A = this chain, B = another copy of it.
Amino acid sequence: VPDDGAPAGEDQRVAKLTSRDIATLSGVSQSTVSRVVRGYPHVSDAVRERVLRTMKATGYRPNAAARTMRTRLTGVIGVVVGRVTNPFYPELIDALSEEIGNADRQMNLWVSDHGGEPSALGAIRQGAVDGVIYTTVTASSSSLSEAIRQGAPIVLLNRTLAGLPCDKVSSDNHEGGATIARYMLRHGHERFGLIAGPVGISTGAEREEGYRRALLEAGHPLRDDMCARGEFTHASGHAGLLQLMQRTPAPTAVFCVNDVIAFGALDAARAQGIPVPEDLWIVGYDDIDMAAWEAFSLTTVRQPVGEMARLGVKMLVDRLEGRAPVPFRHERLPGELIVRNSTAGRR
């Protein structure tokens, strides 16, 4: 049939169905189809059956944009993450993807280094997302407070920032840092080091604060020359460890505020021939998958990533559905010390 006007081979293409088509095919009105789709109660079983059968047979799905126009809800949750140089973010994305899927919603992802925060704000203004989960706020996030002013529900997930009127979820970084200090103290260490992250980022800052305070309370305040500060990167960990090991006496236990920094420190120790854990303990934070690999076997504090994601999505969805408690909450979930070979040897 070469004369039917359609290019050959494209006949297979499925025409987009509307609720009106389903209505015609089922012999009911369009509004009844809509009621069945929405699961409204006052529809007779016979009619419901008929409509459901037609929908299944045709693979009909209500048009998202039309529904959004009426309901003002998109079913899309925005997520802003940091660059993937830190494998913690992919693990968070994974967990969020699962939870957002469980909530029957879709995930819109932005990477903050590629203009993610302004893009998220733009999406809120366009009504393209119902709410946004930010995992990488810094004090300078001006678009964040603007986003909150737009009235869309916002959740700060991993990193937080005081004074912002929105829900927050983090792991208890302060307690995690303190746990590491106490663990080192318990095993007789007396010379402590710290490889810290940038100032003003809540996760690293809180871990640092917890570590410092626990050392101080035990009568071993961290010496000023025993803190190296850099980015959350392998290179910073590498450089930081070299710097700390030049002190005399050198530290015997170093806390790195995340795992990637700790990997850099471990590599530096290896390159210098410093036996870990015999002469030097190294501890990280996050417990990303790689921490368990033999190349590192890193002692670290496990963040409850799945639980954080679950709670963050729940807080957002609760607010969307008007089920949220009155004031904003900040949930802090406990971490767990995971001991591996980077500290395992008894001193």
Which residue numbers of A lie inside 8 Å of B, CB to CB? 12-14, 16, 59-66, 68-69, 74, 76, 83-85, 87, 89-91, 93-94, 97-98, 101, 106-111, 114-116, 119, 122-123, 125-128, 149-151, 234, 238, 263-264, 266-268, 270-271, 289-290, 293-296
Contact = CB atoms under 8 A, between A and B. Distances in A.
Given A101-B114, A126-B63, A238 B76 contact: no
22 contacts: A14-B149, A14-B150, A14-B151, A16-B127, A63-B126, A63-B127, A64-B68, A64-B126, A65-B65, A65-B69, A84-B91, A84-B94, A85-B289, A90-B93, A93-B109, A98-B111, A106-B128, A263-B293, A266-B295, A267-B294, A268-B294, A270-B295
A177 to B, nearest CB: 25
Given A90-B90, A293-B263, A126 B84 contact: no
Contacts of A85: 289
A151 B7 CA distance: 14
Given A14-B150, A84-B87, A84-B94, 10 more contacts: A13-B151, A14-B149, A64-B126, A87-B87, A90-B90, A94-B111, A97-B110, A106-B108, A107-B109, A264-B293
A65 B61 contact: no
Contact of A114 (B97, B149, B150, B295): B97
A234 B65 contact: no
Given A14-B151, A61-B122, A127-B65, A115 B101 contact: yes
A238 B108 contact: no
A61 B60 CA distance: 31
A-B complex: 7 closest residue pairs judged by Cβ atoms? A84-B90, A65-B68, A267-B294, A61-B125, A90-B90, A64-B128, A64-B126
Given A85-B289, A87-B90, A62 B97 contact: no
A18 to B, nearest CB: 11
Contacts of A125: 59-61
A62 B69 CA distance: 12
A84 B59 CA distance: 31
B90 A119 contact: no
A212 B110 CA distance: 40
Nearest to A123: B106
A147 to B, nearest CB: 10
